[in-house]
Amino acid sequence: MTNGTYSSANWNQPPHNRHSFQHISSLFSTQTVHRGTEPAAAFEYALEDLTRLPYPVSKGKTEPLQHFLDSSFTDAFLVLKEGVIVTEEYRNNMQDSTLHLLNSVSKSFVGMLAGVAVEKGLLDTSKYVCDYLPELADTAFRETTVQHALDMTAAVAYSEDYDKPTDDFWHEAAVVGWRPDLRTDTSPGSLIEYCKERGQTEQYEGEHFHYRTVLTNLCTAVIERAANTPFCEYFAQRLWQPLGPEQDASVVADPQGLPYMGAGMSACARDLARFGEMLRNDGFYNGRQILPASWVHDTRLGNDRLRELFANSDYRGLLPNGHYRNQVWADRVSDELMCIGIHGQIIYINRAKQLVCVKLSSHPYPTDLALYGATYRALRALAAQL
């Protein structure tokens, strides 16, 4: 499918992604996460000009925050302090109502919805995923628990290197049309079929932290089966609508209707801020306890084993005392939570500073380490000064 100068063949390449990230539903089959009919949860505003605040660049040099916004392909930037919007800025033809691709920020919604399903007695994370998806009993997931999948410590062999055009990640993404050039007559016809073809393991269960999108899509299918409800419907009823969002969200879906929650959700910046504020307040938002407080506590505090696995992973430089739990990045010491996606998507939560930041971007390349480093330095400098 083609729309203007971008198409399903080039949509995630520069410069096309500057536009396509705001128009995913025009390119791919999507499902709607309905906002419902209730009024949106209102924000208070106390706008400040933060653009002159300094952030570290390199070797003791600083630049104003304006430099960060100008140089990091910003599409939306929103800052909440104590739940009040202090900065809100849109660029690249984006508006407050525009849905923007979240990439792997999508994953954190799955992790939090799992907590709702646990509280409702529908899901037991100590059980094997095959207890919910028996068709995977003879695959690499045969001994994977739901918690192993949520924490990215499962055994399945799967490579996630976005810079390799024929990586496992891209072959899975081809199922939902993201890489039509990788499709063949024998390609799997659904995300579950893709999982059924995973026969090899790369580690013991729980042995290493290795970030793999296939595990999020697996959790999506588990939740759908456990709830006996289409995923997006359960998502809307139990998490999205209680947030009091302004807009529907959308998710790219496979040919069988399973949403590609590993990377395919789109939403507007304000609704992401609502989600971040809910996490900051241990699952409470819009006058109600949306998530079990115990689930959010467990997510942000983690445990020593998770920290050990994180410290021995390729991601140890991101969070000095970090861990990955329930599809969220966390640091117990700095009291930070992060939902992160390639091409520059982030929800950053600093609980100690009562701060939530949303940054939506269209970085030219998936994992530009210099741009990501600038993002973390800028947001942490912002937290320190507000």
pLDDT tens digits, the chain, 386 residues: what are they? 445 588 999 999 999 999 999 999 999 999 999 999 999 999 999 999 999 999 999 888 999 999 999 999 999 999 999 999 999 999 999 999 999 999 999 999 999 999 999 999 999 999 999 999 999 999 999 999 999 999 999 999 999 999 999 999 999 999 999 999 999 999 999 999 999 999 999 999 999 999 999 999 999 999 999 999 999 999 999 999 999 999 999 999 999 999 999 999 999 999 999 999 999 999 999 999 999 999 999 999 999 999 999 999 999 888 989 999 999 999 999 999 999 999 999 999 999 999 999 999 999 999 988 999 999 999 999 999 98
Map out the domains of the chain as residue ranges: 2-385
Handedness of CA 344, 98, 240, 85 (dihedral sign): positive
Which pLDDT does position 102 carry in this prediction? Answer: 98
Which pLDDT does position 308 carry in this prediction? Answer: 97
Which pLDDT does position 4 carry in this prediction? Answer: 56
Q: What is the pTM of this model?
A: 0.97
Which pLDDT does position 3 carry in this prediction? Answer: 53
What CATH class is the domain 2-385?
A: alpha beta
